[in-house]
Structure 1
Amino acid sequence: MNRIPDLAITTWQKSSYSDGGGTNCVEVADGYVGLVPVRDSKVRNGRVLVFGAASWQAFVAGVKGGA
């Protein structure tokens, strides 16, 4: 079982699909083996969702496929 990583010094990257208009702003963090932390860039001190890497890849593939 993976543990929740310490995200205090995480470098976040905004999605290239975020529109820059302040409405669709998703950020992900790299560098966590088997995990993908995700947050809303408008709420930087808010909650972070942590997905398993395989689940995140399936989600991204579904979005790209129009699901």
Structure 2
Amino acid sequence: MTDASTTIQFSSAVWLKSSYSAANNECVEVAFHSRLASIRDSKALQRGKLTVSRDAFAAFIERLKAPEDIHRVL
């Protein structure tokens, strides 16, 4: 879902990381813009980012909150 307009939208994004993140910057970061969420690896920024809809990101987070059901997906 990455295109030129998405790159422009996230060029000035505020990237957030979990409070559980270690001080050594090894975590996943997320930024939000309009109806999009972009995810990147803080220790490998050169690899780029994954951009999805906010709805897809919210569904992903909700799924992470129910690990006992994860075997049904995998």
The TM-score range, normalised by the shorter chain, is 0.7 to 0.9
Identity of aligned residues (%): 32
What is the aligned length?
63
Larger Rg over CA atoms: 2
Amino acid at match of 2:52: F
Q: TM-score, normalised by structure 2?
A: 0.68
In the other structure, the counterpart of 2:46 is 45
Runs of 4+ in 1 over 6 A off after TM superposition: none
Name the one with the larger helix percent. Answer: 2
Q: TM-score, normalised by structure 1?
A: 0.74
Ranges in structure 1 where 5+ consecutive residues have no aligned partner: none
Superposed CA RMSD:
2.2
The correspondence of residues 4-43 of structure 1 with structure 2, limited to 5 A, is 4-6=6-8, 7-18=10-21, 20=22, 25-30=27-32, 32-43=33-44
Q: Contact 1:15 / 1:28 at 8 angstroms: preserved in 2?
A: no
Ranges in structure 2 where 5+ consecutive residues have no aligned partner: none
